[in-house]
Structure 1
Amino acid sequence: MKINLTQNKNLKLFKIIAEAAEKNGQSVYIVGGYVRDLLMKRTASTDIDFVTEQSGIELAQTVARDIDPKLKVSVFKTYGTAMIKYKDLELEFVGARKESYTENSRKPEVEGGTLEDDQKRRDFTINAMAISLNKANFGELVDPFNGVEDLEKGILRTPLEPAQTYSDDPLRMMRAVRFASTLNFVIEEKSLNAIKQEAERIKIVSMERIMVEFNKIMMSKKPSVGLGLMEETGLLKLIIPELIELKGVEEVEGQTHKDNFYHTLEVVDNISENTDNLWLRWSALLHDIGKAPTKKFVEGTGWTFHGHEFLGSKMVKTLFNRLKLPLGSDMKYVQKMVKLSSRPIALITDDASDSALRRLLFDAGEDLEDLFTLCKADITTKNSRKQDRFKKNFEYVAVKIKEVEEKDQVRNFQPPITGEEIMQMFNLKPGKEIGILKEKVKEAILEGEIPNDKEEAEKFVIAEAEKLGLKA
């Protein structure tokens, strides 16, 4: 089978590489994801991998000189690879190799090999195809494992025996789930069973590498596909057991609660239709994480999960720390979303007072719209009338919040009177009285006792200071 590269936007580059290889007496092939995406007519990747049966480093150096003598080549001698950044592309060159693995490491022993050896070590048949750039058969597809057929059928299959493939490099199990989720492919049965069998081997992979794949699953069109496969294969229990603890339905005195694991998957899918913000999707994934440890059956009331949002927000830090996710503003954002995840719903079901709306505005700040996106995604009822009612209520609260915001300017609230100004008014040095007075001003504004206005705040502070025995 020949691939027509004449319309390919990188044709000129491919010809330069072909000529450089011929000049060096080397073979050269495009391999991996670029070939797969080209055949699937997906947006072409900007990372292109090339294999030669000789020295990848030597070929890269020749290519760089032929494109532009000033072009830099990054050489990784340990792996026998070299990389060139050219325009918006990353071109990686590697010598074809054989690999063998030891029991306790995913770092292989490597030796030189043929193109076929290199294709055998690839993770899936759809990633093991190569396109020749050699003069004798330029554009010829080299597909020893019927990758084209698997592409057409939407199947993920390993070139060699699956259990050995996953045991050798357990990260491939996460990659299988990721491709199933992002490409909407099915993992072939033997492969799926091999992942279940080898799941424990994921423990030898660094959490950073696991999370790269996990976040790609989270960013897929329908993350529940990947998350469901991770649950089915046992990978999720090994990586985020807190999610598995949400599984199942208990019944006491004829009263049940929903399965919070499958509810969570629905919420993640719902939110993914409306946002590409990875951390908002994570907020959806963890919004009910505190429900398992707070679940309780109360006689006469039924199942309760009191304080699950507060506990869940505390659990976020523990999780992010263990999963090697960023511990700065991204983590704090997820904590905030989890902690506030039930607040708008409470305002919908009650006759919301302006003070309750002001407090939500104050606590959510610039993330209020994201919080509403999360809350809307949390509506998973299949009853269309209930869905419509919830949505109308959300719209009503959104209008009320907008009115309160325009009137009181509480979002990203800054007190109209500063601590320094309070110290000058009463000729005070820094002390606890300043903090007390500032807090009283904030509470008075949020409760609607005084407007968010400097003059009114000063009058209020003078009155409150007198109660503390202070005089202006």
Structure 2
Amino acid sequence: MKILTDAELAQALDSDIFHTISAAADKLGLECYVVGGYVRDLFLERPSNDIDIVVVGSGISLASELKQQLGRKAHLSVFRNFGTAQVKWKGMEVEFVGARKESYSHDSRKPVVEDGTLEDDQNRRDFTINAMAVCLNAERYGELVDPFYGIEDLEDGIIRTPLDPDVTFSDDPLRMMRCVRFAAQLNFMIEDETFEALSRNAERIRIVSGERIKDELNKIMMTATPSRGFVDLHRSGLLQLILPELAALDIVERRGDKAHKNNFYHTLEVVDNVCRRGGGLWLRWAALMHDIGKTRCKRWEPAQGWTFHNHNYVGAKMVPQIFRRLALPLDAKMKYVQKLVDLHMRPIVIADEEVTDSAVRRLMNDAGDDIDDLMTLCEADITSKNEVRKRMFLENFRMVREKLADLKEKDYKRLLQPCIDGNEIMQMFALPPCREVGQLKQALKDAVLDNKVPNEREPLMALLLEKAKEIGLVCKN
């Protein structure tokens, strides 16, 4: 972070876009300020192309004047219902809004809006570090207006609301998610009174749409250490309301001297491990979901202790309902997460036993193009504190990866589909699409995967006729 004087702020804002906004505002006789994240990021020395401008007066009028001064290459969008406007120019987006004050009803995030002063506008901001404003009018160009000491909170690494946090969060409960998200993104701490207000107002999150919650969760997921955000969500009581399946993992049961690990904190460690390995958003979601079925599958078996048999299968079944509730995509991205949750135990089983070509071929066939991501997830899943066991698993995973590379090099991927397909089977036996056709296709595929027959027409045809005879089918050709 860098502390900037007003003169240094003026220098930081020494660009065509800000000088043009300044000239347009002075021409119209309007006070205007750059506010929010752009100002915060100037002090944090972080790049930002999204510029928010507050106008004491009509934001739409200033945006229209700016468009005129920038000329044909600028694009103006006006949203009269909201009293806002946007100008796009040379890859930048500038949002204009008139200074306003807001009041809320208890059952809605939609405020009643009135024209206001700069002070009114700063009062309604979510956090002190986002409530700073820098004047763009020529006489005061670069002057910082910071009534809530946002600079000090930036220096101290603190997230705090400008006014009473209970009012701030109750008025707009999405701010609770933003609070946790900013703390995770910036590696800041949430001030004690503000955090206590999160817990007191957690139930208010129920009036926020899954779409808005999803956006904040995705931003938390893409931070360097997502576990920070999810721990804060859990401690505040928000996680139990938005992702109860994950919160339910925070339990350790013991019988005698046998206890299972805390699967909540294990899951967060796996997510962080995936991040360190460069995993993208949907691989991180797969890591977050990978043990989600354990609560439903937990059983006590005297000989073994606590078991979670089939938790991968149960967890995969839970993924669509969670994605639907959170307005996450139900397309190929959801299928990808579901597949990795379902398959994440397979490489571990292989690595725990003899790493055979047959087992690796089957794994590669089932995982398809996502095999590398699956291996990354499984390596991240090794969080044992027993270093000897951890090294053994990682070494075996290395052997699995070597076999995968070897099989890919030999172009097994191309050969895994038998050269006799379902259409030909239906023609041979005069069958419509049915269970018997699927049985015969699977028999051929298993034979190829297990290297019992080469993927060649003659031996596969002989096997097909043999399997068909076993289930009472006769070739019609």
- Asked whether the two chains share a fold, i.e. TM above 0.5, the reply is yes
Note if 1:220 corresponds to 2:223. yes
The CA distance in 1 between the partners of 2:138 and 2:401, in whole Å, is 65
Note if 1:86 corresponds to 2:89. yes
Q: What SS does structure 2 have at the residue aligned with 1:28?
A: strand
Partner residue, 1:51: 54
Residues 21, 66 of structure 2: 8 Å contact kept: yes
The CA distance in 2 between the partners of 1:423 and 1:99, in whole Å, is 68
The CA distance in 2 between the partners of 1:268 and 1:423, in whole Å, is 46
Tell me by how many angstroms 1:6 deviates: 6.2
The CA distance in 2 between the partners of 1:34 and 1:83, in whole Å, is 15
Partner residue, 1:317: 320
Note if 1:24 corresponds to 2:23. no
Residues 183, 189 of structure 2: 8 Å contact kept: yes
Residues 21, 27 of structure 1: 8 Å contact kept: yes
Tell me by how many angstroms 1:355 deviates: 2.2
Q: For residues 454 and 3 of structure 1, do their structure 2 counterparts lie closer, same or farther at Cα, with a shift above 3 Å needed?
A: farther
Q: For residues 66 and 188 of structure 1, do their structure 2 counterparts lie closer, same or farther at Cα, with a shift above 3 Å needed?
A: same
The CA distance in 1 between the partners of 2:160 and 2:26, in whole Å, is 34
Q: What SS does structure 2 have at the residue aligned with 1:398?
A: helix
Q: What SS does structure 1 have at the residue aligned with 2:419?
A: coil
The CA distance in 1 between the partners of 2:356 and 2:223, in whole Å, is 39
Q: CA RMSD in A?
A: 1.9
Residues 32, 135 of structure 2: 8 Å contact kept: yes
Q: Deviations over 1:248-267 (max 9, x none)?
A: 21111321100111111111
Partner residue, 2:248: 245
The CA distance in 2 between the partners of 1:319 and 1:98, in whole Å, is 37
Where do 1:64-143 residues align within 5 Å?
64-69=67-72, 71-143=74-146
Q: For residues 431 and 24 of structure 1, do their structure 2 counterparts lie closer, same or farther at Cα, with a shift above 3 Å needed?
A: closer
Where do 1:334-349 residues align within 5 Å?
334-349=337-352
Residues 362, 411 of structure 1: 8 Å contact kept: no
Note if 1:326 corresponds to 2:338. no
Q: For residues 101 and 411 of structure 1, do their structure 2 counterparts lie closer, same or farther at Cα, with a shift above 3 Å needed?
A: farther
Q: For residues 196 and 465 of structure 1, do their structure 2 counterparts lie closer, same or farther at Cα, with a shift above 3 Å needed?
A: closer
Partner residue, 1:41: 45
Where do 1:8-19 residues align within 5 Å?
8=12, 11-19=15-23
Tell me by how many angstroms 1:463 deviates: 4.2
Q: For residues 10 and 305 of structure 1, do their structure 2 counterparts lie closer, same or farther at Cα, with a shift above 3 Å needed?
A: farther
Note if 1:375 corresponds to 2:378. yes
The CA distance in 1 between the partners of 2:141 and 2:292, in whole Å, is 54
Tell me by how many angstroms 1:418 deviates: 2.3
Residues 170, 201 of structure 2: 8 Å contact kept: yes
The CA distance in 1 between the partners of 2:347 and 2:204, in whole Å, is 43
Residues 366, 411 of structure 1: 8 Å contact kept: no
The CA distance in 2 between the partners of 1:435 and 1:171, in whole Å, is 49
Note if 1:299 corresponds to 2:302. yes
Q: What SS does structure 2 have at the residue aligned with 1:194?
A: helix
Residues 126, 151 of structure 1: 8 Å contact kept: yes
Q: For residues 230 and 82 of structure 1, do their structure 2 counterparts lie closer, same or farther at Cα, with a shift above 3 Å needed?
A: same
The CA distance in 1 between the partners of 2:169 and 2:429, in whole Å, is 72
The CA distance in 2 between the partners of 1:181 and 1:32, in whole Å, is 18
Residues 2-11 or 148-157, more deviating: 2-11
Tell me by how many angstroms 1:462 deviates: 4.2
The CA distance in 2 between the partners of 1:402 and 1:428, in whole Å, is 41
Tell me by how many angstroms 1:12 deviates: 1.0
Residues 97, 114 of structure 1: 8 Å contact kept: yes
Given the alignment, which residue of 443, 466, 475 partners 1:470?
A: 475
The CA distance in 1 between the partners of 2:23 and 2:82, in whole Å, is 25
The aligned length equals 470
The CA distance in 2 between the partners of 1:435 and 1:236, in whole Å, is 43
Q: Deviations over 1:128-167 (max 9, x none)?
A: 0011111111011111111111101101111111111111
The CA distance in 1 between the partners of 2:331 and 2:312, in whole Å, is 20
The CA distance in 2 between the partners of 1:73 and 1:329, in whole Å, is 35
After superposing on structure 2, the runs of 4+ consecutive aligned residues of structure 1 that deviate more than 6 Å are: none
* Structure 1 stretches lacking a partner, 5+ long: none
Question: Percent identity at matched positions?
Answer: 53
The CA distance in 1 between the partners of 2:27 and 2:451, in whole Å, is 80
Tell me by how many angstroms 1:320 deviates: 0.8
2:367 is matched by which residue type in structure 1?
A: A
TM-score (normalised: structure 1): 0.95
Q: What SS does structure 1 have at the residue aligned with 2:6?
A: coil
Partner residue, 1:275: 278
Q: What SS does structure 2 have at the residue aligned with 1:4?
A: helix
Q: What SS does structure 2 have at the residue aligned with 1:371?
A: helix
* Structure 2 stretches lacking a partner, 5+ long: none
The CA distance in 2 between the partners of 1:276 and 1:131, in whole Å, is 38
Residues 36, 132 of structure 2: 8 Å contact kept: yes
Q: Deviations over 1:299-333 (max 9, x none)?
A: 22211111110000000011111111111111111
Partner residue, 2:266: 263
Residues 352, 393 of structure 2: 8 Å contact kept: no
Given the alignment, which residue of 128, 144, 149 partners 2:147?
A: 144
Residues 128, 148 of structure 2: 8 Å contact kept: yes
Q: What SS does structure 2 have at the residue aligned with 1:90?
A: strand
Q: Deviations over 1:252-307 (max 9, x none)?
A: 13211001111111111111111241111011111000000110101222111111
Residues 408, 451 of structure 1: 8 Å contact kept: no
The CA distance in 1 between the partners of 2:212 and 2:360, in whole Å, is 42
Note if 1:458 corresponds to 2:437. no
Given the alignment, which residue of 183, 188, 193 partners 2:186?
A: 183
Q: Deviations over 1:378-436 (max 9, x none)?
A: 11122333322221111111112333444461479433222334456x37354545444
Q: For residues 168 and 302 of structure 1, do their structure 2 counterparts lie closer, same or farther at Cα, with a shift above 3 Å needed?
A: same
The CA distance in 2 between the partners of 1:189 and 1:288, in whole Å, is 32
Q: What SS does structure 1 have at the residue aligned with 2:398?
A: helix
Tell me by how many angstroms 1:443 deviates: 1.6
The CA distance in 2 between the partners of 1:90 and 1:283, in whole Å, is 33
Q: For residues 457 and 15 of structure 1, do their structure 2 counterparts lie closer, same or farther at Cα, with a shift above 3 Å needed?
A: same
Q: For residues 345 and 435 of structure 1, do their structure 2 counterparts lie closer, same or farther at Cα, with a shift above 3 Å needed?
A: closer
